Every structure is written in structure tokens, then in C-alpha cells.
Chains A and B, each alone.
Chain A
Amino acid sequence: GESVGLHLPTLSVQEGDNSIINCAYSNSASDYFIWYKQESGKGPQFIIDIRSNMDKRQGQRVTVLLNKTVKHLSLQIAATQPGDSAVYFCAERLATSGSRLTFGEGTQLTVNP
């Protein structure tokens, strides 16, 4: 199917620690992946993306890793801050589906001070 899932529904970390949020996808034809952050009452906010021809991409404090062999995507957040507390979604796009994104269920990240 075209489902995208997450391994853990919740993640709690201490401020300053690194966070790793995981995502499993099932469709090997997906060519593009995005991580979104969603705070309460707001729409998803773009964090970082990666195309299927890459295995790693870095942004400011965030890194996305793509392992196509096991269909796994992860988001690493360095030096996690209280403002990082939110629900994180991975989304995939099938090469043949136009712009349609398929989202996973989300991981609630809580950063403890």
C-alpha cells in the first residue's frame, strides 16, 4: 500500500539532547519525502525534505536520513529545545501521484527542561 507509518507515537527527551524520530514507508516507488512539524492549532510546517536519490540531507540542527533498502526515514534534531515540542509527521510522495502526499500518523515530541 501507500501507507507511511511511524515507529513510536511519543518521544520524550531532555533539553539539549539529540532527538531521533523514525518513519517506515511501504512504497518503494516514492521519490520524495518531507518531514513536517505541527504545533497545536497550526498547520504542518516544513522542516526538511529529501529525494529518493539521496541518503542524507542536513539543515539547521536537523538531518534527514533515508534508507531505501529497508524503507526507513529518520529525522535527527540536534540540541533539542523546548520549542521543538510538537507532533512530527513524515510524508511521502509517489512519483506517479503528482503532488499528493501520504502522511504517517505522527510522533509527539516532548522536550523536558
Chain B
Amino acid sequence: ETGVTQSPTHLIKTRGQQVTLRCSSQSGHNTVSWYQQALGQGPQFIFQYYREEENGRGNFPPRFSGLQFPNYSSELNVNALELDDSALYLCATHRDQTRGYTFGSGTRLTVV
């Protein structure tokens, strides 16, 4: 087991809706990153949170936003869903910049 839990595992939403995905951090891992993985591609960095603040962002629009809580768990929110948002969303946790990025199993989001 990875120690990183994501929920839900699968989700179907309608275009234009909003979605919240959740990630619980492995004990002691105070940094969480979110990635989007389209089918057949490598994960793409969305953003990272460290000590409850966004600390780095990839090439994603502002409708992708997040939160990190004092217990280091995290949420990814996506507003105004588009069909192209259909993907596997992964969170990865780690302790500062040390080695050992642990990924969750992801949330499979389908936008119809």
C-alpha cells in the first residue's frame, strides 16, 4: 500500500459542472502535488502545495484550484468542467524536497 489515499476512485460529471477530488497524505509528508494523466500519456504537473500554500503551478488555467489542510491532506477543485478534463488525476506526497514521491492510485474523472 502506498499510504496515499485518493477519493473517489471514479467519477462522472457533466460539462460545466464543478468537481472536488481528495487526497490524504502519507504520514509526515508535508508537500502534495497534483498531476493530470490523459489516457496513454505521462502525468502532467498541475500544482503543488506546501504548508497550506500553493508552491508551484504548471500550465493549467485558474479553474483548477486546490487546498491543503493542516493535516497535509489536499483537495483539487475543477470548475466549469470541459470534455478535455477527462483524465486520471493523481496526487503525490513527499517530505519537503527529499526523495520519495508517493503517488496515490488516482481518481478517474470522466466528463460527458
Q: Which residues of A contact B (CB under 8 A)?
A: 4, 32, 34, 36, 41-46, 49, 89, 91, 97-106
The answer, among A32, A99, A105, for a CB contact under 8 Å with B48, is A99
Contacts of B45 in A (CB 8 A): 100-102
Contacts of B102 in A (CB 8 A): 46
Q: Which residues of B contact A (CB under 8 A)?
A: 2, 4, 6, 31, 33, 35, 40-45, 48, 50, 55-56, 58, 90, 92, 94, 97, 99-106
**Interface contact B97-A99, CB-CB below 8 Å:** yes
Closest Cβ of chain B to A73, distance in Å, is: 14
Given contacts A43-B2, A44-B103, contact A98 B43 (CB under 8 A): no
**Interface contact B106-A43, CB-CB below 8 Å:** yes
**Interface contact A32-B94, CB-CB below 8 Å:** no
Given contacts A45-B103, A46-B102, A99-B94, contact A104 B42 (CB under 8 A): yes
Inter-chain pairs besides A91-B42, A98-B55, A100-B45, 16 sampled, C-beta below 8 Å: A43-B4, A43-B6, A45-B103, A97-B56, A98-B56, A99-B31, A99-B50, A99-B56, A99-B94, A100-B56, A101-B45, A101-B92, A101-B101, A103-B42, A105-B41, A106-B41
